[in-house]
Amino acid sequence: MNNEFVFVGIAIVVGIISIVLSLVAIHNKKLSVAIIAAGIVSLFASVLYLLMAAPDVAMTEASIGSGLSTLIFFYVLNKIKRSDA
Amino acid sequence: MLKNILVALVLSVMAYMFYNAYSSYETRTELTGMSHHFASKGAEEVGAANLVTSIIVTYRGFDTLGEVTILFLTASIISFFLKLKSGDKEKIIRRDTSELLVTASQLLIPIIFMFGIYVFMNGHLTPGGGFQGGAIIATGVALMIMANPNISLNHNVIHWVESISGVSFVIIGVLGIFLAGGFLDNRMFSLGEFGDFFSAGAIPIIYSFVGLKVGAELSNILNKYQKSQKEI
């Protein structure tokens, strides 16, 4: 019972942090900050999946959501910046 | 103003629908239908210690074939739109890479590759599988590209690995029709002892091909992006 309480506590904290970071990702003027915030949201989502006993989904989310897509966003951001200037 | 009212209207309708769904929701205390069959008979029928893998590769193997096809289409479309200009191939990037990154990449890249291969070869025993392992391998390739911006990955190797893995996946699926119960049936090889590395019939082979294919496709996308960067 005590263990379950800790799980719910971690889940609530992680959920609140992800909501705050998603708002940062939407409202921040600097695109690089927004990309990093979106990547961290994915990382916290993978923690939530792990808490809900879905390690397979958590691995996919951590490697693709917060790893590869963040990287690809940065590549695209760099490409767009240079062509605008 | 009108726009805000419309947005509020849509949101309230959605909130009403979600509230209805939530208020009539009852927690199920036991598995029903297909999930009951998977949970009770899955280990015995497929022989994979990781039930998720046995569902993804065997029971819903056709969906996995579709997912691999979608990923292939995505990679093709990205390659189509990121056309390289004539000068892109010979250009040299003179931006200095940090020494920390170069040193760390020499240590980490082999370990990342090994971990990716471990993840997709042990997909039938531990969490993870072809898609996750392939993504981890692509992360290693990304680190390699970032540490040495002027490295040129061999396109032919990537394309051959990807094509051969894709074709082998389908061939193994078709073999299942002749040697076992149906398309992508994993019982064409002996199921082995439950929990061993050589167990679960064709699942480790299929998942290794999926892992190689996904890894090659994602590496190809990253390589394309690196090559089409404008900075010199």
pLDDT at B98 over 80: yes
A65 vs chain B: nearest CA distance in angstroms?
A: 10
What digits encode the pLDDT tens for the residues B178-211?
A: 877 777 777 777 777 777 777 777 888 888 888 8
- On whether the CB atoms of residues A24 and A34 are closer than 8 A, the answer is yes
Residue A68 has its nearest CB partner, among B52, B218, B229, at B218
Domain boundaries, chain A: 2-84
- In a mutational test of the B interface, the residue from A61, A64, A82 whose CB has the highest number of chain B CBs within 10 Å is A64
Other CB atoms within 10 Å distance of the CB of residue A4: 8
Other CB atoms within 10 Å distance of the CB of residue B219: 24
A14 vs chain B: nearest CA distance in angstroms?
A: 22
Which has more confidence, B97 or A37? A37
Q: According to the model, what pLDDT value does residue A85 have?
A: 46
Confidence of residue A7 (pLDDT cuts 50, 70, 90): confident
Q: According to the model, what pLDDT value does residue B94 have?
A: 66
A interface residues, B as partner, C-beta within 8 Å: 55-56, 58-60, 63-64, 67-68, 71-72, 75-76, 78-79, 82-83
- In a mutational test of the A interface, the residue from B112, B230, B231 whose CB has the highest number of chain A CBs within 10 Å is B230
Distance CA A76, CA A6 (A): 40
Determine if the pTM surpasses 0.90.
no
Count Cβ neighbours within 10 Å for each residue of B119-133 and write b for 16 or more, e otherwise.
bbbbbbbbbbbbbbb
Distance CA B184, CA B182 (A): 6
Interchain CB distance below 8 Å, A68 and B230:
no
Radius of gyration of chain B (CA): 23
Q: What is the mean pLDDT of residues A12-27?
A: 91
Q: According to the model, what pLDDT value does residue B231 have?
A: 57
Q: According to the model, what pLDDT value does residue B36 have?
A: 82
Q: What is the mean pLDDT of residues B50-79?
A: 86
- In a mutational test of the A interface, the residue from B82, B225, B227 whose CB has the highest number of chain A CBs within 10 Å is B225
**Tokens read off for B97:** 């890479």
| Best-predicted range by mean pLDDT (A75-84, B94-103, B129-138, B143-152) | B129-138
Residue B132 has its nearest CB partner, among A60, A72, A78, at A60
